[in-house]
Chain A
């Protein structure tokens, strides 16, 4: 794998947060799977919005509301283009991936899952794609079933056919594992599920940051992601849904903007997507997310994917050379996520020592406790890569790990 496919120095320069020293050392940020840093373009868009355009959307007759509405709907169009959705009405703004999944659970789940039915997830789900389905199943008297994962962290595809039954009402599955980096063959899974008339929700929180996603090509029915991991603001996220599917769903939250008319006797609900966006939305967040998408498109989504694979290959080799280090998650198809244990040293202790070196990594169970149990560990150290990371960041991590080994020698 050659080169990053873009000017890495220049991209790095676009992220002001990275230009700082912490604990007397240059910051090394390797925790982008938790949240991404923001390019100047996003910070500027937020400032510009609040400085010039701030007003409530879809309500005012004045110029500011017009501008704000335009900016908000432009952001929706940017997301449509980013996901290659057919129609901007298929893009619903929510708070994040978690809310997107809960929206589907509260609408589709409540409507379609009944006693004796099944919801199928995988063993590598994040808690936010486990708990809402447990709640749906508990309320309905339905059963949660789980696609197993093999020792490398790959989905056991051979088990899928038997798990997709006539009682399965939904397959809810992550595109990329946040704790292992494994990329799931979503297109193949969607085809299998659709062959049995089962809709599919894809948790895309960890995929959109690493490679281009085309929801029409995947043919998934729902796709969820968060703005903050995509180098946009916090508090904004997206639920994509096929138009016909969204139109068939009952409302989610009630309130302003999700209605056409209200009398004390009866409410006529608004059309999709507004039907699912009750109350004043996070307008600035949407505008910031739109700016993040335009920024990433400017760098080039394919070039970002190339950088990810290039740096992942470099980092895998560098980490494997550290004595006592064991990678957890070695699927052949994965993104720039390196989860590992270091001999007998608890990940929490590794995290504290690396932090003293100015290196930010994540330690713990990554909100994927069942997956940790699957691999027989309570926790791992996770270094996650993004477009602004360099081989020098990886070298600093390796050096830091040698320090850890010294302390615990």
Chain B
């Protein structure tokens, strides 16, 4: 396997795609959004339970490739108990990571999400990695319409 491919499909990514965390609908959710990637037909929903400005619980459901599932799974772990502003800031950093590469982001600020760094070598997969995040953004915004990566 090429080293780029190894970077893309790191163990952690494969593990999260096989056993996604928080793969459920949050009961008593306060906001929800649907995300859709028309390129590949991937579809996921994110449900949130907000406590004031803090994300107390988050779940996702849907279907997608290994990258989109792993990204969604890692996202739910990363933003739980974070404030809206912290979650949005994390989204910004993940976006920079997958579009511009790991050298543009301080790995310390990413935690486990750093395993998504391989995506930057695969421009066709950036949308897969960011779908869940765009959907989270829409849910936090309280937008009821679905978001699309197109």
Contacts of A251 in B (CB 8 A): none
In chain B, positions 21-68 with a C-beta closer than 8 Å to chain A are 39-43, 63-67
- Asked whether, in the complex, the Cβ of A346 is within 8 Å of the Cβ of B5, the reply is no
State whether B40 touches A378 (Cβ < 8 A). Answer: yes
| Closest A residue, CB atoms, query B63 | A378
Report B-chain residues with C-beta under 8 Å of the C-beta of A379: 40-41
Q: What is the chain B residue whose CB lies nearest that of A364?
A: B40
A221 to B83, CA, bound (A): 62
Interface string of B1-27 (1 = CB under 8 A from A): 110110011000010000000000000
| Interface pick from A153-161, A222-230, A322-330, A347-355 | A347-355
By a CB distance below 8 angstroms, the chain A residues around B40 are 346-348, 363-365, 378-379
Determine whether the beta carbon of A348 is less than 8 Å from that of B5.
no
Asked if A372 and B41 make an inter-chain contact with CB atoms under 8 angstroms apart, the answer reads yes
Which chain B residues (89-138) contact chain A, with CB distance < 8 Å?
122, 124-125, 128
Question: Is A378 touching B41 in the complex (CB atoms < 8 A)?
Answer: yes
* Bound form: Cα–Cα A364–B14 in Å: 20
> A408 near B: Cβ within 8 Å?
yes
Q: Does A216 contact B (CB under 8 A)?
A: no
- A369 touching B65 in the complex, CB below 8 Å, given contacts A352-B8, A353-B5, A407-B5: no
CA distance A369 to B36 in the complex (A): 13
Distance between Cα atoms of A221 and B42 in the complex (Å): 38
A364 touches B41 (CB 8 A): yes
A346 B14 Cβ-Cβ under 8 A: no
User: Cα distance A350–B63 when bound, in Å?
Assistant: 15
- Chain A residues whose CB sits within 8 angstroms of the CB of B8 once the complex forms: 352
Residue-wise interface mask of A (356-368) relative to B, using a CB-CB cutoff of 8 A (1 in contact, 0 not):
1000000111000
Tell me whether B64 and A346 are in contact (CB under 8 A): yes
**Cα distance A379–B65 in the bound complex, in angstroms:** 10
What does the 1/0 interface line of A262-305 toward B look like (CB < 8 Å)?
00000000000000000000000000000000000000000000
List A350-409 residues whose CB lies under 8 Å from chain B: 352-353, 356, 363-365, 369, 372, 378-379, 403, 406-408
Tell me which residues across on chain A come within 8 A of B63, comparing CB atoms: 346, 378
Q: How large is the interface on A (under 10, 10 to 19, 20 to 34, 35 or more residues)?
A: 20 to 34
Q: Are B65 and A349 in contact (CB under 8 A)?
A: yes
B residues near A353, Cβ cutoff 8 Å = 5
Instruction: Note all chain A residues with C-beta closer than 8 A to B42.
Output: 348, 378
Say yes or no: A408 contacts B14, CB within 8 Å.
yes
Q: Is the CB of B41 within 8 A of A365?
A: yes
CA distance A156 to B112 in the complex (A): 51
Q: Is the CB of A356 within 8 A of B5?
A: yes
* Residue in B closest to A365 when the chains form the complex, CB atoms: B41
Question: How far does the alpha carbon of A345 sit from the alpha carbon of B14 in the complex, in Å?
Answer: 11
From A346, A352, A365, A406, B124 is in contact (CB under 8 Å) with: A352
Could you tell me if A352 and B41 are in contact, using CB atoms closer than 8 angstroms?
Answer: no
Report whether A356 and B2 are in contact in the complex, using a CB–CB cutoff of 8 Å: yes
Q: Would you call A403 and B1 a contact (CB within 8 A)?
A: yes
A348 touches B65 (CB 8 A): yes
A160: shortest Cβ distance to chain B, in Å? 29
Q: Residue A356 contacts which of B4, B14, B66, B128 (CB distance < 8 angstroms)?
A: B4
A363-B66 Cα distance, complex, nearest whole Å: 14
Q: Which of A347, A348, A356, A363 has the most CB of B within 10 A?
A: A348
Question: How far apart are B45's CB and chain A's nearest CB, in angstroms?
Answer: 14
Bound complex: CA A363 to CA B64 (Å): 12
A-side contacts of B65, CB under 8 Å = 346-349
Contact of B128 (CB < 8 Å), options: A23, A345, A348: A348
Of all chain B residues, the one with the shortest Cβ separation from A406 is B1
Question: Which of A345, A352, A363 is the one whose CB lies under 8 Å from B122?
Answer: A352
| Complex contact B43–A349 (CB within 8 A) | no
Closest to A357 in B: B2
- How far is it, in angstroms, between the C-alpha of A45 and the C-alpha of B116 when the chains are bound? 47
Shortest CB distance B12–A (Å):
14
> Which B residue sits closest to A373, measured CB to CB?
B41
Smallest CB-CB A-B distances: 5 pairs: A346-B65, A348-B65, A378-B41, A365-B41, A364-B40
